[in-house]
């Protein structure tokens, strides 16, 4: 038995390819994992798909045969050539796979070092795989050790203090561009985790927010939770509202763009739109005074964040190294 991980992240794969690799629905994930498990070499498998990474974590009987099957299947579902996928992927086996898993869970491999979302995303991926019979004891043991290691990293370092997420980095970028955001109004499209985080950071900066979501009840529930600075608008108002306000933050789970060129009207004032979804929510170009920032455009702020946490990361990696050897 071997541990095997195939990893596509912001480090090795640009957002255009990550969009094609994204598993943004339970049905798509289930179909892919059913096909993975059909391979005789694949014993257990977990699929992690977030805005910054796609990871296939597996227990296999033969690494090279399993890799060949994984890349064939990924190429089929993503319409990206097998050769390109093989050239981009980071591949980890046995000790390396465990070390990588622990690093991911402790958020040391994240775009934003120390962000707090990844452990929860990994728990959800593990729970889905376990409850649907895609993984069992082998990967279960590895995952429980990963969660314990991540908890030790959080407890013994300052790496997750003042937690930072891609959503908060987007709000920080807006502050860099506009200065004090207090009193402005921002449109938040979507009501999922990333949208919630963006909304909370905006409100903490004194921004009034309007939430638009296909499910109006979810939007209203989020607005109620956020308080008096948050209101809700129906999804039918999306085109009207994106042309009214300077700030737009989008993070829906849609498999396609929700804001397109035909919806955009020219305006004399500058607009700043932050697309923190993968696949991207915004597909517009060629509009004067409109500036669109996707996940990969936030690297500058992220890099500043990484340098501040570098010393804490060294301590964290020593914990991960020891935990890997203990496992």
Phi first, then psi: give them for residue 317, nearest 5 degrees. -65, -30
Alpha-carbon distance 262 to 283, whole Å? Answer: 10
What crossing angle do the helices spanning 310-326 and 137-156 adopt, rounded to 10°? Answer: 150
> Which CA distances in Å does 97 have to 19, 100, 101?
24, 5, 6
Cβ-based neighbours of 24, under 8 Å, separated by 6 or more: 49, 253, 254, 255, 278, 279
Catalytic residue list contains 16: no
Q: How many CB atoms lie within 10 A of CB 265?
A: 10
Interior angle at CA 144, CA 141 and CA 145, nearest 5:
85
Residues sharing a CB contact under 8 Å with residue 16, sequence separation 6 or more, in sequence order: none
Look up residue 34 and give its two tokens.
């059913």
Residue with tokens 């200065």: 179
Cα–Cα nearest to 100, from 244, 228, 18, 4? 4
List C-alpha distances in Å: 127 to 32, 133, 136: 16, 10, 10
d(CA 92, CA 6): 7
Phi/psi zone of residue 314: left (φ > 0), alpha (ψ -120 to 50 degrees), beta? alpha
3-state class percentages of the chain: helix first, strand second, coil last, to nearest 5: 50, 20, 30
Which residue among 16, 39, 51, 105 is the active-site one? Answer: 51
Q: Which residues are catalytic?
A: 51
């Amino acid at each position: 038995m071997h541990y095997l991980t195939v990893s596509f992240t912001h480090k090795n794969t640009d957002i255009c390819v990550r969009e094609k690799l994204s598993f943004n629905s339970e049905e798509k994930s289930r179909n892919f994992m059913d096909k993975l498990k059909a391979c005789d070499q694949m014993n257990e498998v977990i699929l992690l798909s977030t805005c910054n990474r796609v990871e296939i974590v597996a227990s296999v009987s033969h690494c090279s045969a399993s890799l060949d099957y994984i890349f064939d299947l990924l190429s089929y579902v993503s319409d990206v050539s097998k050769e390109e996928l093989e050239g981009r992927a980071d591949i980890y086996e046995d000790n390396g796979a465990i070390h990588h898993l622990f690093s991911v869970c402790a958020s040391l491999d994240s775009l934003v070092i120390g962000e707090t979302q990844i452990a929860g995303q990994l728990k959800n991926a593990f729970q889905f795989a376990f409850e649907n019979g895609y993984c069992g004891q082998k990967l279960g043991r590895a995952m429980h050790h990963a969660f314990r290691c991540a908890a030790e990293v959080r407890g013994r370092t300052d790496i997750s203090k003042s937690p930072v997420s891609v959503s908060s980095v987007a709000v920080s970028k807006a502050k860099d561009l506009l200065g004090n955001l207090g009193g402005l109004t921002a449109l938040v499209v979507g009501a999922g985790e990333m949208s919630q985080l963006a909304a909370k950071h905006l409100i903490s900066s004194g921004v009034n927010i309007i939430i638009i979501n296909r499910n109006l009840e979810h939007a209203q529930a989020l607005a109620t939770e956020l308080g008096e600075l948050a209101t809700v608008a129906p999804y039918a108002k999306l085109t009207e509202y994106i042309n009214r306000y300077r700030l737009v933050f989008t993070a829906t789970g849609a498999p396609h763009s929700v804001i397109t060129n035909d919806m955009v009207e020219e305006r004399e004032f500058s607009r700043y739109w932050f697309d923190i979804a993968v696949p991207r929510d915004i597909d517009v170009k060629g509009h004067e005074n409109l500036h669109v920032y996707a996940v990969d455009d936030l690297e500058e702020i992220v890099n500043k964040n990484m340098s501040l946490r570098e010393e804490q990361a060294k301590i964290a990696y020593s914990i991960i190294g020891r935990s890997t050897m203990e496992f």
